[in-house]
Amino acid sequence: MSIKQATSRTVQCLIVLGMAGLCRPALAQDSEKLETGEPVPATEQGAQRLPFQVFAGGSYQAQTDIDNGGDFSLARFRTGLGIPVRFNDQFTLATSLKYELASYSFGNRVDPWHNINTLSGVALLKYKLDEHWLVYGGPAFRFSAESGAGWDNAKQGGGLIAVNYTMNDKLSFGGGLFIMSQIENSAVVLPILTANWKFADNWKLNLGFTDLATSGYGIGVSWDFCPEWQLTFGGQMNKARFRTDTADEVGQDESVALTVAASWTPCKFVTGTAFVGIVAGGELRLESSTGRKLYQQNYDPAPILGLKAAVRF
């Protein structure tokens, strides 16, 4: 395998990691952090996490041109919940469920798919060895299919095992092994890396799973510029692979999103986030059930904006 092919394969696998929702550093660094994609509110750092969280959000990717004709826009709605269970000072089980509706609107006689429904879940058992080391792992699943398609042929499953090391209150990092099947494609087996670094007062860098407009693997730099507000500059790789309702075909949408997000935490129970950005490097692909390429086109960069809210009980 050439260096170019290996690099491409690694990037694709990292996208799948984020798509599965398994790489967020906070999962390993905060035994009470729920996997909802919300940034750590400035007013809650170091505070006790509440045991139940619900989030909902939406985004709109503006109309953009597709190479060789056609255009499309994309609206998303997402909701989910996270439930951690603390067994004792060493063991915690963090479970999350998410649902996303991605509604594509194509024009100019391009019509590969429409409404894509995705249900995903993960359950991670975390074991705290001491004040520095945390081991975690567990199963994950994902169903993604166009409305009208069968869910039995739209499943993906796998899991991970990983470890996290907290050096001090400013730096923690980790890694592990991830395995995940894909729809009509070979399974992913890949090492993973996560990091959380507070490199200056009120500034922090995160590497791993991100969850804003959708799930993906990325990096972000956050600034707590006042007690209730946080500003995050980030980049995220996204890959959606799903079963369509036509002859068991498989669709795919792959892109990179660059965003600026502002989060407001007026109290410890509520966080609201608004974001704007641009989606670039986009590619649409349609395959037969045997993997034969039926359609593949790049699309132009497009602006994206959205809102998200989380409530903790």
CB-side neighbour CA atoms (13 Å) of 25: 21
pLDDT digit string, tens, across residues 155-172:
999 998 999 999 999 999
The answer to whether 233 touches 246, Cβ cutoff 8 Å, is no
Please report the pLDDT score of residue 147 as a whole number. Answer: 93
CATH code: domain of residue 70: 2.40.160
Q: Look over the chain and give the mean of its residue pLDDT values, rounded to a whole number.
A: 84
pLDDT digit string, tens, across residues 214-230:
777 789 999 999 989 99
pLDDT digit string, tens, across residues 240-256:
999 999 877 999 999 99
- With the C-alpha atoms ordered 77, 12, 18, 147, is the resulting torsion angle positive or negative? positive
Distance of CA 75 to the CA centre of its chain: 17
Query: Which residues make Cβ contacts (< 8 Å) with residue 171, sequence separation at least 6?
Result: 196, 197, 198
The answer to whether 154 touches 145, Cβ cutoff 8 Å, is yes
Q: Nearest to residue 178, comparing CAs of 166, 167, 164, 192? A: 192
Please report the pLDDT score of residue 199 as a whole number. Answer: 95
pLDDT digit string, tens, across residues 259-310:
999 999 999 889 999 999 999 999 999 998 888 899 999 999 999 999 999 9
Beta bridge partners of 253: 240, 284
Quick check: 73 pLDDT over 90?
yes
* 0.75 exceeded by pTM: yes
Please report the pLDDT score of residue 173 as a whole number. Answer: 95
Please report the pLDDT score of residue 78 as a whole number. Answer: 95
Q: Nearest to residue 116, comparing CAs of 134, 107, 104? A: 104
What's the domain count of the chain?
Answer: 1
Question: What is the band of 32 on the pLDDT scale with cuts at 50, 70, 90?
Answer: very low
Taking residue 1's Cβ as centre, other Cβ atoms within 10 Å add up to 8
More confident residue, 143 or 151: 143
Which structural domain, as residue segments, surrounds residue 10?
3-312
Q: How far apart are CA 218 and CA 207, in angstroms?
A: 6
